[in-house]
Amino acid sequence: MRRREFIALGAGAALFPAMAVAQHPKVITIGVLVHSAPGWQRFWQAFPAALSERGYVEGRNIRFEFRSDDGDLSRLPELAAELVSLKVNVIVTWFTPTATAAKQATREIPIVCAFCGDMIGTGLAESLARPGGNVTGNTGLTAETSAKIVELIRELVPATHRIAAMANAPDPFSKSFLKEMELAGETTRTAIAPIMIQRPEELDEAFSAMVAERLDAIVVQPSLPTKRVAELALAHRIPAVCAFREFAYEGGLMAYSTVEADLYRHAAELVDKILAGAKPADLPVEQPTRFELIINLKTAKALGLTLPQSLLLRAGEVIE
């Protein structure tokens, strides 16, 4: 899927305000690699807009080479290699598998993760303060985030004792996701049951198994087909939560995630610094500082759950 196919989504030149661009006389090529999970359109609108605020105007001093895996993670190595062959100045990635594919394709072109999981645990960076290679960016889900999600589930359903951690096996972040969930279980004294999904076709069978095992709730890794997961969770009457805001809009019970706009603005800032001569190895990885809770009240009612007023008051959005 190429860049020109997305002009109608608002990423074209009309998105950017007219402004002086003398400070950026050279035309820069930015490679963009995304996993086609729900929410990528929001990134693809916010990130170019954040660049425009820094004087990078598409059609004048910047152009994009956009690539999407169309939901098939196996295509990412080929797409990453294609961007490298085009000699783009920087590669910006959305979701952990895309960053991993880009890093495997090049150790020279700077890579900025606009939205990734555990960048240290997945080998994308040596440390948060000094990434050490050609990759920097934003790391999203952490052990603390996972623990908070488990706490929210137990606040909503106090009788919760066993929670399924549904992981996307082909995603390099799955190991970190499960590790963080296990730590969250230890912190909250909750049993965590790992559920590995190799292919989307396995979801129906996985839900049947979870019902048989009487698991109380599910925490979903964001790179899974979240809409299908939300549908199955509702059909099987299992509360499901994800660290990705789109999940609640797809019918999931709750989403607790970082404020994505912050990540995309920071990604644009990093690109700007790299184009000015900074090295990714020296640019610290950003951790989220702001989070939002989104609750789907319609789903809660369908599950027969009564939401505590304290939880509703903390929600940034309530979908009715």
Q: Quick: pLDDT tens for 138-156.
A: 987 665 688 789 999 999 9
Parts of the chain with a pLDDT under 70: 1-25, 141-144
- Structure confidence by residue, pLDDT tens digits, 261-291: 999 999 999 999 999 999 999 999 998 889 9
pLDDT of residue 141: 64
- Residue-wise pLDDT for 181-226, tens only, equals 998 889 888 999 999 999 999 999 999 999 999 999 999 999 999 9
- Token digits for 145? 């985030």
pTM to 2 decimal places: 0.83
Instruction: Work out the mean pLDDT of the chain and round it to a whole number.
Output: 89
* Residue 29, both tokens: 């090529």
Structural domains for the chain: 3-140+260-289 (3.40.50.2300), 143-258+292-319 (3.40.50.2300)
Query: What is the structure's pLDDT at 187?
Result: 84
**pLDDT of amino acid 147:** 79
